[in-house]
């Protein structure tokens, strides 16, 4: 356990969560949400839950981001790039 790393990661976690719900562009929100998942994975490793961190990194930062992005593509259309 590294206390300074924990404090910094939890601070960035809250910042990322607030940014994800306050940003206007939906694509930016999805990217910030994947950043949130990545920080959360580091926090899980700090909490000695490596298995959960693995799931968080692969599902939260990987698959979910891809699915959100393609759901956005299908709902807003390709022309508004």
The one segment of 10-18, 20-28, 32-40, 70-78 that binds another protein by CB under 8 A:
70-78
Neighbours of 32 (CB within 10 A): 19
Q: State the minimum distance, in angstroms, from the CB of residue 20 to another protein.
A: 20
Q: Which two tokens stand for residue 38?
A: 């990545």
CA distances from 50 to 26, 31, 57 (A): 30, 23, 10
Among 74, 76, 79, 80, binds another protein (CB under 8 A): 74
Q: What x-and-dash track marks residues 21-50 binding another protein by CB under 8 A?
A: -----------------------------x
81 is a contact residue toward another protein (CB under 8 A): no
């Amino acid at each position: 356990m590294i206390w300074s790393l924990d404090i910094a990661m939890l601070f960035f976690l809250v910042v990322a969560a607030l940014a994800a719900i306050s940003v206007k562009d939906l694509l930016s929100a999805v990217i910030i949400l994947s950043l949130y998942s990545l920080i959360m994975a580091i926090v899980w490793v700090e909490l000695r839950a490596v298995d959960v961190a693995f799931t968080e990194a692969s599902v939260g930062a990987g698959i979910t981001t891809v699915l959100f992005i393609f759901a956005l593509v299908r709902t807003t259309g390709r022309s508004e790039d």
